[in-house]
Amino acid sequence: MRTTFFFIVTAVFCWSCTGQTQTQHAKPAAMNDSTPIIKTDSEWKAILSPEQYDVIRNKGTEHPFSGKLLENKEKGMYVCAACGNELFSSDMKFDSHCGWPSFDREIAGGKIKVHRDTSLGMVRTEIMCARCGGHLGHLFDDGPTSTGMRYCVNSLSLDFKAAEPKK
């Protein structure tokens, strides 16, 4: 009797935990949701192209002057290609002539986290999506605008959402 009761309680507990996990993964996140997104490598590989996976998950870098968003002049929002987190608006973008899209600031609200990067024999500031931890690029203090900052971002780390036309 005790064994049966223990088995039933354990089964119900495990089932309820599994149901919560499945619901959490199945629920689509809102664009401004700050809930951390955690996925396995195989889950990331299923939603990212091989090139995006290399940059976003393996901290790679796309070739300079090759990114699809480098020359983009449209009005809208730049979002994380991995999770949709809004990172930059088009009014923050400027042409730095460095080969990658550049922004002078991020959207307020802790959308980006920074990390000291000592790879390749240099000391740089890596920028990552605060929501999914995806590598975006690097932050430099040599920007030409009043902020003095240059968020140098891989196009592969970004998607662009054009602004709705004014009616």
Which of the residues 80, 83, 129, 152 is marked catalytic?
A: 152
Nearest to 93, CA basis, from 81, 101, 83, 84: 101
Residue 132 annotated among the catalytic residues of the structure: no
Q: Cα dist. 135→12, 80, 142, 158, 160 in Å?
A: 39, 10, 20, 10, 17
The CB-based long-range contact list for 115-119 (8 Å cut-off, 24+ gap) reads 119/59
List residues with catalytic annotation: 152
